[in-house]
Amino acid sequence: MGADYQHREISSVGEMLSVMASARHDPFARMLNVDLVAVLVAALLPWSTSGVGIGMLVWLAVLAATLELRPFLRSLLRPINVLPIALVALAAIGTLWSDAPWGTRLHAISPATKLLFLPFLLYHFERSTRGLWVFIAFLASCTLMTVASWIVAIEPGLSLKGTGDPATYGIFTKNYIDQSQEFVLCTVVLALPIIMSLREGKVRQALLLTVVAANFIVNMTFVVVSRTALVTLPIMLAVFAMAHLRWKTNVLLSVAAVALGALAWTASPHLRTTTDRFTRDYRLYKELNQPTSLGLRLEYWEKSLRFFAEAPIIGHGTGSTRGLFEAAATGPAESAQGHVIGNPHNQTLNVAVQWGMVGVVILYTMWFAHFSLFRGEGLAAWIGLMVVLQNIFSSLFNSHLFDFHEGWMYVLGVGTAGGMVIRARSRDKAGEPSKIVRP
């Protein structure tokens, strides 16, 4: 797994293309191709759904030419790999006791299957020295997305989402929840390299990264942001402050953050509207029974807890959620109580309704195993930690592990950063100097 061909330097684009073309006979070229497909997928993630799905299948096919069977099978015994496989296996086995139609049961397995890519990503980036390329590609792509967001905020007709719907304001493609997840992750991840650059006296680099991070924050403040992002961003920044800053610095930054937050709230009508919707949605739901976003979530969660209580050990089976909501619907379809849905907008409840405590234990144990993997120093550990924490906290309000976009953010982030961390720790134990290949 540590063959010398992996460390060959590439000095130009022309040399890279030449190496890629020689993949049939050159092991180094085959490894490079696997890395570059992963880079392409990361760049496509903010923009395309089908591109990511097709890209990951291509990546798996290219990886097959480099896979060493015995080391890969040994890696599957790690808890970080066993647990996601176990969750997918439970989803498959859960079809046996579900009352849903077989088509629904089989379709309900698919949201979890992306977790099967985790062992392959962890295995590959434990061998590769180019994991950082994946994150740079994602950051660059998200930065371009902010440009597109500003453009369609000014000229809505250029949006691929169409015009006329206020929910598409500032959205070039996908939706405001996906976009906010990307921007929040990039913002918080950049905090560490900014601090590291300042400590190393690299002021220009720190300023450049600060401008990039500020671009994400300003876009979320004045164009569009999800309420989930408003909750998760402060939590993730607080984790950064506790982990990497002195307490005096934390006090000063807390005061500055409160002041800047108040200024942003005052200056941005959009931000005020977004925050005011919390109380407005709750009032409309309670007093007028209107199906607001917050009110529907409360309704989904209350019913899901009842469903879980009816089958607390192994749940109602894979794909059973929609049928349960149909049976529990009361009143007209346009009322909150009459709404029918197949996803309770909470990852824990999504798992609990279908697979009971067995599923919940596997889910939380997997999150804990991945969280523990990233407890340490270094940029890769920081990226992985933020990916896991964002998924955990945002999954309080959505089923983000099973959602397409956020699920792939988790799989790519944990798989790539996890492989980098395992590689670095293996080299440290062996007493070898860590080698960083810079793009």
Same domain, 435 and 311: yes
Query: What share of the chain in percent tops pLDDT 70?
Result: 77
Domain presence at residue 232: yes
Domain presence at residue 6: no
Q: What's the domain range around 254? A: 133-267
Same domain, 256 and 360: no
Domain presence at residue 4: no
Res 278: pLDDT: 59
Same domain, 216 and 100: no
Binned at pLDDT 50, 70 and 90, residue 202 comes out as very high
Same domain, 85 and 53: no
Which one, of 212, 174, 218, 180, lies nearest residue 193 by Cα? Answer: 212
Same domain, 83 and 28: no
Domain presence at residue 3: no
* Calpha distance 366→384 (Å, rounded): 14
Same domain, 137 and 50: no
Res 243: pLDDT: 74
- Residue 263, pLDDT above cutoff 90: no
- Residue 112, pLDDT above cutoff 70: yes
Whether the Cβ atoms of residue 145 and residue 172 lie closer than 8 Å to each other: yes
**Number of independent structural domains in the chain:** 3
- Residue 433, pLDDT above cutoff 60: no
Cα-Cα-Cα-Cα torsion 44, 49, 54, 59, nearest 10 degrees, comes to 40
Same domain, 256 and 176: yes
- 283 burial via Cβ count (<10 Å: 0-12, 13-18, 19+): middle
Which one, of 72, 62, 3, lies nearest residue 32 by Cα? Answer: 62
Interval 202-229 mean pLDDT: 91
Give, as one character, the DSSP assignment of residue 335: S
- The model's pLDDT over 135-145, given as tens digits with 9 standing for 90+, comes to 999 999 999 99
Domain presence at residue 312: yes
- The model's pLDDT over 32-79, given as tens digits with 9 standing for 90+, comes to 999 999 999 999 999 999 999 999 999 999 999 999 999 999 999 999
Domain presence at residue 11: no
Interval 293-322 mean pLDDT: 89
Res 429: pLDDT: 74
Same domain, 117 and 176: no
Domain presence at residue 9: no
Same domain, 120 and 21: no
Res 289: pLDDT: 60
- The model's pLDDT over 353-411, given as tens digits with 9 standing for 90+, comes to 999 999 999 999 999 999 999 988 899 999 999 999 999 999 998 999 999 999 999 99
Same domain, 297 and 412: yes
Scanning the structure block, which residue is given the tokens 């992963």?
38
- The type of residue at 64 is A
